[in-house]
Structure 1
């Protein structure tokens, strides 16, 4: 039997904690043009891929939308879907530092700063 993972776009789940939603809501209110938050991945970082989370101003149709709250939509780029399936996005505060944290069950390795991962 092979260790090949199958990927079905219909089985994708990505979620945000209440703290992450509250932070996203605050960011969305600061922009009059933002339609939601978009999550992508880029080849970068010390572990291979880097999460890319930004305000989305133009929906191109290359994104899958997740209604994470009544007033917050999380978009995930088509390229990122297989890498972030099952990911929960959290907003954490440690001391004076606050950051988005990605709890990604697909990540086999993460760098020490938590910004990059390997599948």
Structure 2
């Protein structure tokens, strides 16, 4: 939630950078203190996945593989739609999206560049 909160309220256009920073901090912490994430009251591995398997007896609704499959498919569809939007805009502007910015001229892009 930290990168989303920052990107929404005061650092628009930099969600991915904020997310990279929070992930880097978490991974560094997890490597220095590995027992923090594996056991105790602050464990990030829920009891549902203990011993590497999903236990439907613990939380029967949380362990529904159909819901997990739907979320996975929804995630893939959203990513394809976003990629299509970027590709369509790049083709309309006749630019290479890998070499040039695609959203030049949009309000959010200009605000992000002004903060740079």
Q: TM-score range by the shorter chain?
A: under 0.3
Which structure has the greater CA radius of gyration?
2
Higher helix content, 1 or 2: 2
- Whose RCO is larger (CA < 8 A, sep 6+)? 1
User: Per residue, is there more strand in 1 or in 2?
Assistant: 1
Tell me the TM-score normalised to structure 1 length: 0.20
